A and B are shown apart, each in its own frame.
Chain A
Amino acid sequence: MTQHCPPRLTRRSFLSTMSAALLAGTAGPALARDYPGGTLPWNAYSSEPPTQIVPGGWKFFTPAEAATVEAIVDRLIPEDDLSVGGKDAGCAVYIDRQLTTFYGSSDRLYMQGPFKPGLPTQGYQGEWTNAERYRRGLGAIAKYLNANKSGATFASLSDEDKDAFLKDMEAGKVELPDDVDAKAFFALILGNTMEGFFADPVYGGNKDMASWKMLGFPGARYDYREYVSKHNQPFPLPPVSIAGAMNWKAK
């Protein structure tokens, strides 16, 4: 395996590539490769495993933003007999950490202009990255509630008022300030909350596989051959995470 056409990165472009890669939590810059005849480029398990998210502190949200997001995810996924609520499941931590990756910087998306309002069939056409959408969206909610609910924050509202506000956002009935589209921002938070709740627990949400237990989804199992013919029968095994089963916690 040799490198094809030696790379001619300047120190500056190399550094900026590296910092972008570090931010994105991926490997360093990938270089063109030449696999000449007769070589076998196999390289066992050289790809990157996911990194276990450790709760504690906020990497993206300010404390005020975090309080709002925790309160929102706890209404989207309320605590009941079926599972813990979104906050205790770690959904806010999940979103916080996601916003520090390529997802937050919208690094994989086409972000070149001109930016124009599109038709619904043309998808999101905004100029803001996902991280910017959260910063501006949470700011607009705070501003709106401060002005319209006599200085309240979202977290300080009653459960009924929280739900009513979220329903209004969902239906596009709230006019948020600073060009924030309430309906689109609600859809973004709802989507991310569900990702966190149902994704593998290594990403910070779905604590103790709460959602998988609720559904009966066995998680990162890889072989169901014994069970395929057992039609209409309960699957007997508990879920496992990429990080292993509950009783095999390494840390």
Chain B
Amino acid sequence: MTKILPHKDVVIIGLGWSGSIIANELTDEGLDVVAIERGPWRDTGTDFNIGYIQDELRYAIRRDLFLQPRVEAMTMRNNDGQSALPIREYNSFLPGNGVGGAGVHWNGQTWRFWDSDFQINKHLTERYGAQKFDGLTLQDWGVTAQEMEKSYDKFEYLAGISGKAGNVNGQIQEGGNPFEDPRSRDYPLPPMEMTYGPTKFAEVTKGMGLHPFPCPSGNLSKDYVNPLGVAMGQCTMCGFCERFGCANYSKSSAQTTVLPVLMKKKNFEARTLCEVLHIDKDASGKMAKGVTYVDSSDEVCFQPADLVVVTAYALHNARLMMLSGIGQVYDPNTGEGTIGRNYCYQTNAGARVYFDDENFNPFIAAGALGMTCDDYNGDAFDHSDVDFVGGAGINCVPSSGRPIQSRPTPPGTPAWGKDWKKATAETYKSSLAFGSQGSSYPVAGNHLDLDPTYKDRFGRPLLRITFDFPDNDLRMSHFVSDRMEDIAKAMGGREHTVSRAKKGWNSAVYQSTHNTGGVIMGTDPKKSALNKYLQSWEAHNVFVVGASAFAHNAGKNPTGTVGGLAFWAADAIRNQYLRNPGVGLVSA
């Protein structure tokens, strides 16, 4: 028996960054909003205790704050020729769980994508001709960087991002990123004070003619009060960011920026430990009428609503659309269908330089404290003479010295015993890592659908991920790895290593929680699930917000764009959709 609950104007699925931002915007509009969240309530005072949050085993290794596979797993394979098997323990990526979502445990690196990303097909076709990216299903997102500027700005000021602008209204700024698109003003806070490693990296790369600048950071360089009146504190560089909640109110998250305002509103309600099973369609099949969810006592409830905003993690957004039958599931053989299309990831490689007489104190760190060069990112450099498109940011962001996971040893060192211990003790403070975070471009074979065999705890099919690194992306990554070799040599250490990207995405080794696509925005209803306002082409009162909307992934962390898209979609709902509800904002 399903319990039918009183009607709401808006139901939001998942109370992370996107859900919190959109709930706050729509409650400001006077709407009655309920958010349904699968995980528990979390906030700083309750859960991120300054007395014991610095616990690497509990939070980073046993992953107390993350989605547990027993709650929802996924299956994976590298290509359609293999049998997918369940990811029994999340390793390659770690989805969040609970209020705040993945925004609780992120590092804080906060980027804007470029116009050459949003209009990637048009841009690359004009510059190189379409044959340059033959085999890649690169599509325009439907928006421009100019359109997105205001939304990015709102997110950066909400979150108190610390950084140095590189381009204010077309004027290049010394010390910022010269490759970024024009922004209307500088970041709300100055860059963080640099540790030794990134300082050295910046000196060396600058000497090589590159353009290092401080990574835009959600770890706050100063105390800050955001436009909603929520106060945050200066980051203390404790080195417990990624995989941890911040006990210090110093890392931007829904908890530290939006929820203190949102939770006080009479027209907002949050329900935790309630998992949405699917979105319900009305008799016409063209509109949603609400969502069905199950709570932790196994009671099934139907929540009617006029508007459904899907803001779970990217992969969960895609699965929810499939389980709800909104949009056709993508078939890589025919190219038909939109849900599950253009699934992308991140193409990373790493370098480490070993010194004899340097002390980097790796434990003095923060998740986004470091320096970046974008000289080889995106289309910042001419691709005429190379056999790939895309690029990578080269980042020196030594974000922690937590010793269970961070104990580098020089090549050839055994994994245990006397020699291992000696090398570990010698190397802990005296080596420096940097890495390339590369773009991930879509190909027909990389996609999401429902697994035919494996089920979740409610008997529903698990999401199936079919993914491997496309050859284009590997060629890109190897090109950038060659540049990293040059930098590593110029650093002047005793020796160095470069770990290159290779074929065969391995789900058992941590790489990145930057899963994108599956419910993408775009201009063509045959090739995208959403229009440029993140509104479903199929059901006009459904908006799907998150990295699931990315038509490809750039060589950058996704959260800045996720936050920008949340403000972008909220603005479209407030200022366009509500005037004429139920109607598509873009004609198909």
Instruction: Give the interface of A toward B (CB within 8 A).
Output: 4-9, 29-47, 49-50, 75-78, 80, 82-83, 102-103, 107-112, 114, 116, 118-125, 163, 166, 170, 190, 193-195, 198-200, 203, 211-212, 214-225, 227-229, 231-235, 242
- Contact assessment for B236 and A49 in the assembled complex, using a CB-CB cutoff below 8 Å: no
Contacts of B583 in A (CB 8 A): none
Q: Are A35 and B269 in contact (CB under 8 A)?
A: yes
B248: chain A residues at CB < 8 Å are 222
Query: B515 within 8 Å of A by Cβ?
Result: no
Interface string of B248-266 (1 = CB under 8 A from A): 1000000000000001111
Report chain B residues within 8 Å CB of A121.
76, 78, 504-508
A233–B46 Cα distance when bound, in Å, is 37
Q: A75-B417, A225-B236 are in contact. List 10 more A-B contacts (CB 8 A).
A: A32-B271, A37-B266, A45-B46, A50-B52, A77-B416, A78-B418, A108-B68, A110-B87, A203-B57, A214-B421
With a CB–CB cut-off of 8 A, which chain A residues contact B449? none
B404 touches A195 (CB 8 A): yes
Residues of A close to B237: CB separation below 8 A: 223-225, 228
Please judge, given known A-B contacts A49-B51, A50-B52, whether A114 and B453 are in contact too, CB under 8 Å: yes
Chain B residue with Cβ nearest A75: B417
Contact with A along B450-488 (1 / 0, CB 8 A): 000111000000000000000000000000000000000
Task: Report chain B residues within 8 Å CB of A227.
Answer: 361, 364
Q: Which residue of A lies closest to B72 (CB)?
A: A110
In the complex where A5-B295, A35-B270, A82-B425 touch, is A111 in contact with B45 (Cβ < 8 A)? no
Q: Which of B86, B236, B238, B271 has the most CB of A within 10 A?
A: B86
Do residues B55 and A242 form an inter-chain contact, with CB atoms below 8 A?
yes
Contact B403 A215, beta carbon cutoff 8 Å: yes
Q: Given the known inter-chain contacts A225-B236, A232-B359, please indicate yes or no for A7 contacting B296, CB distance below 8 A.
A: yes
Report the minimum CB–CB distance from B201 to chain A (whole Å): 12
Interface presence of B187 (CB below 8 A): no
Residue from B69, B271, B363, B428 within 8 A of A33 (CB atoms)? B271
Judging by beta carbons under 8 Å apart, are A112 and B46 in contact? no
Residue in B297, B358, B416, B453 whose beta carbon sits within 8 Å of that of A76 in the complex: B416
Pair B45/A44 contact, Cβ less than 8 Å: yes
With both beta carbons as reference points, the residue of chain B lying nearest to A101 in the complex is identified as B62
B313 close to A (CB within 8 Å): no
The segment from B169-177, B192-200, B387-395 that touches chain A is B192-200
With both beta carbons as reference points, the residue of chain A lying nearest to B358 in the complex is identified as: A232
Kindly identify which residue among B46, B403, B415 contacts A42, using a CB–CB cutoff of 8 Å: B46
**Bound-complex Cα distance A9 to B296 (A):** 10
Interchain residue pairs A-B with the least CB separation, the first 8: A7-B297, A110-B73, A32-B295, A123-B508, A231-B196, A110-B69, A37-B266, A223-B236
Interfacial chain A residues near B361, Cβ < 8 Å: 227, 233, 235
Q: Is the CB of B61 within 8 A of A228?
A: no
22 A-B pairs with C-beta separation under 8 A: A4-B271, A5-B297, A8-B297, A32-B296, A34-B269, A36-B269, A37-B267, A41-B46, A46-B46, A75-B416, A80-B421, A102-B62, A121-B78, A122-B85, A125-B85, A215-B429, A220-B52, A222-B50, A224-B239, A231-B199, A235-B364, A242-B54
Give Cα distance in the complex from A224 to B238, angstroms: 6
Query: Do B70 and A110 touch across chains, with their CB atoms under 8 A apart?
Result: yes
CA distance A110 to B328 in the complex (A): 28
Docked Cα-Cα span, A123 to B47, in Å, equals 31
Q: Are B268 and A37 in contact (CB under 8 A)?
A: yes
| B-chain residues with CB within 8 Å of residue A45 when the two chains form the complex | 45-46, 49, 51
- Kindly list chain A residues whose C-beta atoms are within 8 Å of the C-beta of B418: 78, 80
B424 contacts chain A at the CB level, 8 A cutoff = yes
Cβ–Cβ contact B69 & A41, under 8 A: no
Digitize B551-563: 1 where CB-to-A-CB distance is under 8 Å, 0 elsewhere: 0000000000000
| Interface-centre pick from B50, B52, B82 (highest chain A CB count, 10 A) | B52
Asked if residues A214 and B453 are in contact (CB atoms below 8 Å), the reply is: no
Query: Which of chain A's residues has its CB closest to B468's CB?
Result: A121
B256 to nearest A CB, angstroms? 13
* Cβ–Cβ contact B416 & A190, under 8 A: yes
**Pairwise interchain contact B270-A44, C-beta atoms closer than 8 A:** no
Cβ distance B33 to chain A, nearest Cβ, rounded Å? 9
Nearest-neighbour CB distance to chain B for A226, whole angstroms, equals: 10
Q: Would you call the interface of chain A mostly helix, strand, loop, or mixed? A: loop
| B454 contact set on A, CB distance < 8 A | 112
Contact B295 A110 (CB under 8 A): no
Whole-angstrom distance between the Cβ of A154 and the nearest chain B Cβ? 15
Those of B500-520 within 8 Å (CB) of chain A: 504-508
Are A214 and B425 neighbours in the complex by a CB distance under 8 Å? yes
Whether the Cβ atoms of B425 and A40 lie closer than 8 Å is: no
B45's closest neighbor in chain A, by CB? A44
User: In whole Å, how far is A113's beta carbon from the nearest beta carbon of chain B?
Assistant: 9
Q: Please, how many angstroms separate the alpha-carbon atoms of A110 and B73 in the complex?
A: 6
A216 to B407, CA, bound (A): 12
Bound-state Cα–Cα, A60 to B268, Å? 48
Give the nearest-CB partner of A35 in chain B: B270
**Across-interface contacts of A43 in B (CB, < 8 A):** 45-46
Q: Is the CB of B55 within 8 A of A4?
A: no
- Whether A170 pairs with B87 at a CB distance below 8 angstroms is no
The answer for the CA separation of A83 and B403 in the assembled complex, in Å, is 15
Residues of chain A within 8 A of B83, CB atoms compared: 116
A120 touching B417, Cβ below 8 Å: no
B77 touching A5, Cβ below 8 Å: no
- Neighbouring B residues of A8 by C-beta, 8 Å: 297-299
How far apart are the CA atoms of A18 and B47 in the complex, in Å? 21
Give Cα A125 to B88, complex, Å.
7
Kindly state whether residue B56 has any CB partner on chain A within 8 Å: yes
Are A195's CB and B57's CB within 8 A? Answer: yes
Question: Among the listed B82, B194, B415, B428, which residue makes an inter-chain contact with A190, where contact means beta carbons less than 8 Å apart?
Answer: B415
Q: Mark B227-247, 1 if CB is under 8 A from A, else 0.
A: 000000010111100000001
Question: How distant is B458 from chain A, measured CB to nearest CB, in Å?
Answer: 12
Q: A43-B46, A109-B89, A112-B454 are in contact. Are A35 and B507 (CB under 8 A)?
A: no
Smallest distance from the beta carbon of A242 to chain B beta carbons, Å? 5
Q: Is the Cβ of A200 less than 8 Å from the Cβ of B274? A: no
Residue of A nearest to B417 (CB): A78
Q: In the bound complex, how far is the Cα of B358 from the Cα of A134, in angstroms?
A: 41
CA distance A46 to B416 in the complex (A): 39
B89 contacts A124, CB within 8 Å?
yes
Whole-angstrom CA separation of A102 from B68 in the bound complex: 12
Please tell me if the beta carbons of B88 and A200 are within 8 angstroms of each other in the complex. Answer: no
A118-B85, A234-B359 are known contacts. Are A200 and B56 too (CB-CB below 8 A)?
yes
A214–B506 Cα gap in the complex (Å)? Answer: 33
Chain A residues, Cβ within 8 Å of B46? 41-47
Is B143 interfacial (CB-CB < 8 Å)? no
Contact A31 B417 (CB under 8 A): no
Q: Which residues of B contact A190 (CB under 8 A)?
A: 415-416
Query: In B164-205, which residues have CB < 8 Å from any A CB?
Result: 193-196, 199
* A33:B273 contact, CB within 8 angstroms: yes
Query: Which residues on the A side are within 8 Å of B359 (C-beta)?
Result: 232-234
Closest beta carbon of chain B to A77's beta carbon, Å: 7
**Measured CA separation A49–B248 after assembly (Å):** 17
In the complex, which of the residues B268, B296, B364, B415 contacts A224, with contact meaning CB atoms closer than 8 Å? B364
Q: Is the CB of A37 within 8 A of B269?
A: yes
Known pairs A38-B264, A217-B403, A225-B234; A47 contacts B49 (CB<8 A):
yes
